[in-house]
Amino acid sequence: MMPESYRGQLRQRVRRRAFTLLAALVAIPLLASGAAANDVEVRRAADAAERTTWDSVFSAAQAERGQSAYKDACARCHRESMAGADEAPALTGSAFMSAWNGQTLGDLHERIRTSMPTDTPGVYGRQQVADVIAYMLQFNGYPAGAAELSKESDALKEVRFVAGKP
Ligand code: HEC
């Protein structure tokens, strides 16, 4: 015969286990659907902005100009590989992609134009920054098209950065 107190403890332990299992069963699908909902939201926002980075929003010639500007202006900190170094974060890869997913190219342009390079911010003009963004997009696998990416903020705000290929 088990003493009553021991049986009570056992019952409590079993109940605690069952609760943990139940919590996991509820939490996992919730987390998964949360991620999916977020994706849907980004897509919906993308529809509203009409164009995304997948819609060939820069030209190959512009990306080429952007590449030489990038080498002169950005590579000493962010590296030619865009992998980043020390304080300078990567401008490619999943952390960069998820940081900018859902924002517009207006946001990215503004961020670069007003804060880069960190030691002398604001020295590059709107056109140069637009060209560098064209190169960053090409480097990250986005398609080039016939038209150049505009340097005007109204037009840049109409293009949403979308990480995953639709
Ligand atoms: C002197 C070094 C330096 C140079 C040159 C430089 N950056 Fe940066 N950059 C940094 C640092 C450090 C950070 C992170 C701190 C911050 O955001 O101020 C950063 C952050 C960024 C971010 C934000 C990244 C993110 O994940 O949100 C972008 C985009 C960026 N830089 C683009 C550029 C571009 C494009 C150029 C060239 C026009 C450039 N940077 C030149 C040092 C530099």
Per-residue pLDDT tens for 89-142? 999 999 999 999 999 999 999 999 999 999 999 999 999 999 999 999 999 999
Query: What is the pLDDT averaged over residues 84-91?
Result: 97
| Predicted local distance difference test score (pLDDT) of residue 50 | 78
* pTM for the whole structure: 0.78
User: How far is the centre of ligand 1, averaged over its atoms, from the C-alpha of 20 (Å)?
Assistant: 44
User: How far is the centre of ligand 1, averaged over its atoms, from the C-alpha of 117 (Å)?
Assistant: 6
Residue nearest to atom 9 of ligand 1 (CA): 88
Higher local confidence (pLDDT), 24 or 165? 165
User: Worst-scoring range by mean pLDDT, 32-46, 89-103, 146-160?
Assistant: 32-46
| Predicted local distance difference test score (pLDDT) of residue 165 | 87
| Domain ranges within the chain, ordered by starting residue | 1-49, 51-160
Ligand 1 atom nearest the C-alpha of 128 is 38
**Residue 11 C-beta-side C-alpha neighbours within 13 Å:** 7
d(CA 12, CA 151): 66
| Predicted local distance difference test score (pLDDT) of residue 65 | 98
Q: Which fold has domain 51-160?
A: Cytochrome Bc1 Complex; Chain D, domain 2 (1.10.760)
Residue type, 31: L
User: How far is the centre of ligand 1, averaged over its atoms, from the C-alpha of 95 (Å)?
Assistant: 14
Query: What is the pLDDT averaged over residues 5-27?
Result: 62
Residue of 78, 91, 124 with the most ligand 1 atoms within 8 Å of its CB, for mutation:
78
pLDDT above 60 (res 24): no
d(CA 90, CA 94): 9
| Predicted local distance difference test score (pLDDT) of residue 27 | 61
